[in-house]
């Protein structure tokens, strides 16, 4: 818990190139589709409500590919994470 | 953080391989039971076989192998430390399970006569049954879950079991979990529970440094081992680590099992074979390690000598089943099986009875030492059990759970256990500042590599324990900004428990056994006089982690002296000078 005597320790923003990309032209999240978000074992995908498309929110990927295989429009692409490539 | 209370008869935790089978079998045993399958991800694509599987590694099928032969093979492969009754329960049910999966729609390779096309990969017998179209296995399981009307909840992360001290000993009373999307806290009462949470696959840190670049599905963070431990269940063989020969950096299986029957094999940098048998065992990993240390490495999977049509067939199997992103990895590095060998490496450590022997102690009915609590799959100690073993033990666990419900009512829920767990789960969300779970996890898993990766050194493991104790203090500073990060924070708790278990169990067994899995530099010899026993681990009455010996039950399948050293002779002898 924060108290008056505990200094706030800020957290850095660590940039990361995410392995899963979504083609906005093909993604039909705005029609209510959440397939890729549903099937991800690690729950790292989310829907950007302002854009109506899916995106990778957390760089915690097993490059296992249900998101790509199960996407009904072929909008999702999985790349091997850079550190492993 | 809302608290939601539920009541079911049978609670199955983990919806990967063993879990769905347990749920279906409990429901089939008694359709009136309320059976809940609780899954951390989504049952449709969860667990080790999320994308499918390319074969059965250990099918015991009439005409190809007998249960007795299989029990003998696994007893020898696991250096004698097995409860043969549990291995026999698997072997005796193996054929019926393959037949049932076949009826459900899982496609196994068959020859022109319709018989299963079994291949030989193990050192002694033939047990490998390919599934070239094994990518549908999760769909097949899902259909059965729907058909038998098993209730399913997704995205609930179980964190602790509820227990009660009854007149006949400790009994399970249910489990607690939270929703990784909303952070709602769930208290689920149950008459019996099946733990099927997979391996502790996020223990060592992959050489790539990528936390999720693991061999196992990284959702399998050791949650089940931690829950069983805190419930007071006995664990066994934790010191018999899982270490695999994998594709370097990609960290997926090179699949010598798949390629072996086509003519592929493991070689050193000179393109020479150095092991007789590609079946994964501690002895095989020891030879792999020696080859790397001896300057003959790297080790490769060699396919470039095979015919074009064979290679195309191998590509189709390997790039569409268990790890379909493999083709993409090879393409990125310019590795074409036709021209280049596949570079391999030794993986970081994990705990997994599916591959080696570390897990929750179970009997031949999948019962743990806590009444009403069962365990199955990679986390249950039935050595070398693999996917088919998960299905068989899932079945046994489901049937035993249903039976337990028939004779037992709900055990009372201890309000103190609920309050303590709610506070532990909620704490990271309440902190305004603290340590990010990813940072603590990175450091913890790097320490696992530094101090526990075999060959095991006593002093290093002792220092490792000190570091894990220090990280226990850090857990009190974990901060989670949202329910997703809360899941990662609580996984760090489980990973830390597993790290401590791995260190303590390894220090306890003062000998070397299982090749690389438990190679102790300070105790290099195998000592059958003192250590031909199971090494057990549990939470003692004083709350501390304690190890003790458990005698091996008399073998039901005798092992003769010539056979017993079969796995110690894996290295191909140097060719004699002409």
Facing A65 at nearest CB: one of B46, B251, B325: B325
Residue in B with minimal Cα distance to A8: B433
**Residue A45 domain flag:** yes
pLDDT at position B576? 46
Pick from A35, A84, A85 the residue to mutate for testing the B interface (most B CBs within 10 Å).
A84
**Residue A6 domain flag:** no
Q: Do A41 and B332 touch (CB under 8 A)?
A: no
pTM above 0.90? yes
Facing B484 at nearest CB: one of A43, A61, A78: A43
The CATH architecture annotation of domain B3-241+350-415 reads: 3-Layer(bba) Sandwich (3.50)
Candidates B9, B13, B10, B17; CA nearest to B392 is B17
Average pLDDT over chain B reads 95
**Residue A11 domain flag:** no
Residue in A with minimal Cα distance to B249: A84
**pLDDT cut 70: percent of chain B above it:** 99
DSSP code string of B370-383: SBTEEE-GGGB--T
When mean pLDDT is compared across B151-160, B176-185, B291-300, B411-420, the lowest value belongs to: B291-300
When mean pLDDT is compared across B147-151, B263-267, B486-490, the lowest value belongs to: B263-267
User: How far apart are the C-alpha atoms of B131 and B380, rounded to whole Å?
Assistant: 24
Q: Do B329 and A85 touch (CB under 8 A)?
A: yes
**pLDDT bucket at B435, cuts 50 / 70 / 90:** very high
Cα distance from B262 to chain A (closest Cα, Å)? 25
Beta bridge partners of B35: B10
Facing B51 at nearest CB: one of A11, A66, A79: A66
Candidates B234, B231, B240, B252; CA nearest to B200 is B240
Within 8 A of A2 by CB-CB distance, chain B residues are 431-433
pLDDT tens by residue, B269-309: 999 999 988 888 899 999 999 999 999 999 999 999 999 99
Extents of the domains making up chain B: 3-241+350-415, 245-346
When mean pLDDT is compared across B118-122, B433-437, B531-535, the lowest value belongs to: B118-122
**Residue A72 domain flag:** yes
Q: How many domains does chain A have?
A: 1
How much is the average pLDDT of B239-267? 91
Q: Do B250 and A9 touch (CB under 8 A)?
A: no
Phi, psi of B2 (to 5 degrees): -75, 155
CB contacts < 8 Å between A and B, how many?
98
Residue in A with minimal Cα distance to B483: A43
| pLDDT exceeds cutoff 90 at B258 | no
Within 8 A of B253 by CB-CB distance, chain A residues are none
User: How far apart are the C-alpha atoms of B479 and B34, rounded to whole Å?
Assistant: 36
Within 8 A of B484 by CB-CB distance, chain A residues are 43, 57-58
Within 8 A of A79 by CB-CB distance, chain B residues are 328
**Residue A51 domain flag:** yes
Under a CB-based contact definition with an 8 Å cutoff, are residues A18 and B188 in contact? no
**Residue A4 domain flag:** no
Q: Do B328 and A42 touch (CB under 8 A)?
A: no
Under a CB-based contact definition with an 8 Å cutoff, are residues B258 and B54 in contact? yes
**Residue A1 domain flag:** no
How much is the average pLDDT of B347-373? 97
pLDDT tens by residue, B380-419: 999 999 999 999 999 999 999 999 999 999 999 999 999 9
Residue in A with minimal Cα distance to B207: A84
Segments forming the whole domain that contains residue A61: 20-84
Phi-psi region of B462 (alpha: psi -120 to 50; beta: other; left: phi over 0): alpha
How much is the average pLDDT of B356-365? 97
Cα distance from B577 to chain A (closest Cα, Å)? 43
Residues in B whose CB is inside 8 Å of some CB of A read 41-42, 44-47, 50-51, 154-155, 180-181, 208-214, 217-219, 249-251, 323-325, 328-329, 332-333, 430-434, 436, 484, 487-488
DSSP code string of B5-27: EEEEEEEEE--SSHHHHHHHHHH
DSSP one-letter code for B438: H
Within 8 A of B197 by CB-CB distance, chain A residues are none
pLDDT at position B308? 96
Facing A1 at nearest CB: one of B208, B329, B431: B431
Q: Burial, B258: exposed, middle or buried (Cβ in 10 Å; 0-12, 13-18, 19+)?
A: buried
Cα distance from A24 to chain B (closest Cα, Å)? 22
Under a CB-based contact definition with an 8 Å cutoff, are residues B537 and B498 in contact? no
User: How far apart are the C-alpha atoms of B287 and B282, rounded to whole Å?
Assistant: 9
Radius of gyration of chain A (CA): 16
Candidates B146, B157, B179, B183; CA nearest to B35 is B146
Under a CB-based contact definition with an 8 Å cutoff, are residues B178 and B157 in contact? yes
Q: Do A41 and B42 touch (CB under 8 A)?
A: yes
**pLDDT bucket at B160, cuts 50 / 70 / 90:** very high
Pick from B44, B135, B211, B212 the residue to mutate for testing the A interface (most A CBs within 10 Å).
B212
Facing B180 at nearest CB: one of A43, A61, A80: A43
| pLDDT exceeds cutoff 50 at B322 | yes
User: How far apart are the C-alpha atoms of B494 and B5, rounded to whole Å?
Assistant: 24
Residues in A whose CB is inside 8 Å of some CB of B read 1-2, 6, 8-11, 38-43, 57-58, 60-66, 69-70, 78-81, 83-85
- What six digits make up the tokens of B62? 């009439």
Q: Do B250 and A65 touch (CB under 8 A)?
A: no
With b meaning 16 or more CB within 10 Å and e meaning fewer, what string describes B513-543?
A: bbbbbbbbeebeebeeeebbebbbbbbeeee
User: How far apart are the C-alpha atoms of B322 and B250, rounded to whole Å?
Assistant: 13
Cα distance from A81 to chain B (closest Cα, Å)? 8
How much is the average pLDDT of B442-462? 98
pLDDT at position A5? 60
CATH number at residue A51: 3.30.70.20
| pLDDT exceeds cutoff 90 at B568 | no
Residue B431: CB atoms within 10 Å: 17
Helices (H) and strands (E) in chain A, counts: 2, 4
**pLDDT bucket at B132, cuts 50 / 70 / 90:** confident
User: How far apart are the C-alpha atoms of B377 and B22, rounded to whole Å?
Assistant: 10
| pLDDT exceeds cutoff 80 at B577 | no
**pLDDT bucket at B182, cuts 50 / 70 / 90:** very high
Within 8 A of A1 by CB-CB distance, chain B residues are 430-432
Q: Do A41 and B251 touch (CB under 8 A)?
A: no
| pLDDT exceeds cutoff 80 at B154 | yes
Range B543-549 contact pairs with CB under 8 angstroms and sequence separation of 24 or more: B545/B229, B545/B500, B545/B501, B545/B504, B547/B504, B547/B505, B547/B508
**pLDDT cut 90: percent of chain B above it:** 89
Within 8 A of A69 by CB-CB distance, chain B residues are 51, 324
How much is the average pLDDT of B494-505? 98
Residue in B with minimal Cα distance to A80: B329
Q: Do B50 and A70 touch (CB under 8 A)?
A: no
When mean pLDDT is compared across B100-114, B257-271, B492-506, B514-528, the lowest value belongs to: B257-271
pLDDT tens by residue, B162-175: 999 999 999 999 99
Domain B245-346 fold is Flavocytochrome C3; Chain A, domain 1 (3.90.700)
Within 8 A of A64 by CB-CB distance, chain B residues are 45, 50-51, 217, 323, 325
| pLDDT exceeds cutoff 80 at B19 | yes
Facing B45 at nearest CB: one of A63, A66, A83: A66
pLDDT at position B123? 78
pLDDT at position A4? 53
More confident site: A60 or B576: A60
Candidates B462, B463, B220; CA nearest to B350 is B220
User: How far apart are the C-alpha atoms of B578 and B166, rounded to whole Å?
Assistant: 73
Residue in A with minimal Cα distance to B40: A41
What strand order describes the sheet that includes B359-360?
A: B359-360, B235-236, B533-539, B545-551
pLDDT at position B574? 65
ipTM: 0.94
The residue ranges of chain A whose pLDDT is under 50 are: 1-2
Q: Burial, B340: exposed, middle or buried (Cβ in 10 Å; 0-12, 13-18, 19+)?
A: middle
Residue in A with minimal Cα distance to B479: A1
Under a CB-based contact definition with an 8 Å cutoff, are residues A77 and A54 in contact? no
């Amino acid at each position: 818990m924060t108290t008056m005597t505990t200094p706030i320790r800020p957290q850095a923003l660590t940039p990361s190139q995410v392995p899963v990309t979504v083609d906005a032209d093909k993604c039909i999240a705005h029609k209510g589709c959440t397939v890729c978000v549903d099937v991800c074992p690690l729950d790292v995908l989310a829907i950007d409500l302002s854009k109506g498309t899916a995106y990778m929110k957390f760089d915690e990927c097993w490059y296992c590919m249900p998101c790509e295989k199960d996407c009904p429009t072929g909008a999702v692409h999985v790349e091997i994470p850079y550190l492993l490539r | 953080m809302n608290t939601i209370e539920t009541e079911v008869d049978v609670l199955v935790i983990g919806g990967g391989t063993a879990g769905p089978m347990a749920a279906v079998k409990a429901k089939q045993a008694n359709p009136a039971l309320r059976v809940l399958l609780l899954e951390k991800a989504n049952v449709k694509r969860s667990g080790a076989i999320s994308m499918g599987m390319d074969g059965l590694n250990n099918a015991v099928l009439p005409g190809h192998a007998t249960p007795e032969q299989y029990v003998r093979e696994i007893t020898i492969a696991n250096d004698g430390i097995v409860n043969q009754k549990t291995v026999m329960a698997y072997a005796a049910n193996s054929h019926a399970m393959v037949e049932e999966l076949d009826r459900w729609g899982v496609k196994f390779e068959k020859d022109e006569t319709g018989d299963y096309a079994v291949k030989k990969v193990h050192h002694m017998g033939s047990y490998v049954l390919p599934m070239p179209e094994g990518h549908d296995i999760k769909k097949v399981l899902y259909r059965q879950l729907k058909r038998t009307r098993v209730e399913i909840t997704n995205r609930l992360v179980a964190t602790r079991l509820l227990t009660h001290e009854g007149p006949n000993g400790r009994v399970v009373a249910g489990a607690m979990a939270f929703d990784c999307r909303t952070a709602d806290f769930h208290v689920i009462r149950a008459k019996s529970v099946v733990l099927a949470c997979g391996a502790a696959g996020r223990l060592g840190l992959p050489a790539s440094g990528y936390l999720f670049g693991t061999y196992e599905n990284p959702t399998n963070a050791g949650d089940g081992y931690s829950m069983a431990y805190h419930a007071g269940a006995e664990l066994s063989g934790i010191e018999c680590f899982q270490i695999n020969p994998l594709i370097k950096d990609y960290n997926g299986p090179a699949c010598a099992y798949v390629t072996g029957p086509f003519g592929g094999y493991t070689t050193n940098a000179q393109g020479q074979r150095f092991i007789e048998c590609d079946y994964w065992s501690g002895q095989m990993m020891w030879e792999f390690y020696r080859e790397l240390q001896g300057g003959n490495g790297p080790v490769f999977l060699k396919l470039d000598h095979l015919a074009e049509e064979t290679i195309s067939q191998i590509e189709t199997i390997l790039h569409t089943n268990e790890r379909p992103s493999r083709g993409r990895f090879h393409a990125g590095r310019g590795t074409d099986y036709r021209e280049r060998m596949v570079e391999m490496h030794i993986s970081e450590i994990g705990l997994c009875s599916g591959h080696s022997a570390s897990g929750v102690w179970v009997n031949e009915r999948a019962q743990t030492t806590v009444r009403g609590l069962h365990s199955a799959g990679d986390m249950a100690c039935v050595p070398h059990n693999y996917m088919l073993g998960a299905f068989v033990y899932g079945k046994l666990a489901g049937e035993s759970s249903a039976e337990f419900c028939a004779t037992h009512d709900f055990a009372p829920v201890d309000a103190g256990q609920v309050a303590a767990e709610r506070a532990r789960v909620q704490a990271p969300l309440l902190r305004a500042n603290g340590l990010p779970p990813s940072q603590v996890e990175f450091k913890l898993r790097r320490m696992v590599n530094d101090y526990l990766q075999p060959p095991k050194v006593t002093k290093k493991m002792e220092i490792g324990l000190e570091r894990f104790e220090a990280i226990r203090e850090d857990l009190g500073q974990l901060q989670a900004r949202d329910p997703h990060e809360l899941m990662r924070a609580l996984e760090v708790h489980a990973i830390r428990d597993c790290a401590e278990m791995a260190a303590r169990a390894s220090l306890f067994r003062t000998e070397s056994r299982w090749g690389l899995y438990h190679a102790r530099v300070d105790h290099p010899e195998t000592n059958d006089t003192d250590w031909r026993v199971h090494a057990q681990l549990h939470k003692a009455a004083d709350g501390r982690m304690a190890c003790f010996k458990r005698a091996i039950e008399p073998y039901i399948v005798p092992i003769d002296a010539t056979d017993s050293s079969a796995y110690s002779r894996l290295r191909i002898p140097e060719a004699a000078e002409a």
